[in-house]
Amino acid sequence: AQKITQTQPGMFVQEKEAVTLDCTYDTSDQSYGLFWYKQPSSGEMIFLIYQGSYDEQNATEGRYSLNFQKARKSANLVISASQLGDSAMYFCAMREANNNDMRFGAGTRLTVKP
């Protein structure tokens, strides 16, 4: 069974600094995808970044990058140059190749301080 672990219930970061949100996962599949979503207080789920299990390069999307360490089964999200608008819940998720659904971690609430 899939399991996604986010050990940081809450994180604080100073505006303009970088922050790393942790995510570890457990799967016996070789092929899977890892996703990060942002959920502002409005409730919408915003897709941020994707990392495939076979991708050799760490994914990057603008200020978001993923520190993927396959052997350790970790897929940490790095947000550079934090902005006040980055304050939100962040969820790590995984989808195995043989499953159509996606499972989510418990989430991390990020607060960016001015």
Partner 1 sequence: GAVVSQHPSRVICKSGTSVKIECRSLDFQATTMFWYRQFPKQSLMLMATSNEGSKATYEQGVEKDKFLINHASLTLSTLTVTSAHPEDSSFYICSARSGVGQNSPLHFGNGTRLTVT
Interface residue list for partner 1 (CB under 8 A): 31, 33, 35, 37, 42-45, 47, 50, 52, 91, 93, 95, 97, 100-107
User: Closest approach of Cβ 43 to partner 1, in Å?
Assistant: 5
User: Closest approach of Cβ 71 to partner 1, in Å?
Assistant: 20
User: Closest approach of Cβ 16 to partner 1, in Å?
Assistant: 27
Decide whether 18 or 46 has the Cβ nearer to partner 1. Answer: 46
Decide whether 63 or 103 has the Cβ nearer to partner 1. Answer: 103
Decide whether 39 or 81 has the Cβ nearer to partner 1. Answer: 39
86-114 residues labelled b (16+ CB within 10 A) or e (exposed): bbbbbbbbbbbeeeeeebbbebbebebee
Cβ neighbours of residue 106 closer than 8 Å, sequence gap 6 or more: 5, 6, 9
Distance CA 53, CA 50 (A): 10
User: Closest approach of Cβ 28 to partner 1, in Å?
Assistant: 17
CA distances from 8 to 28, 74, 107, 108 (A): 24, 14, 8, 6
Decide whether 45 or 81 has the Cβ nearer to partner 1. Answer: 45
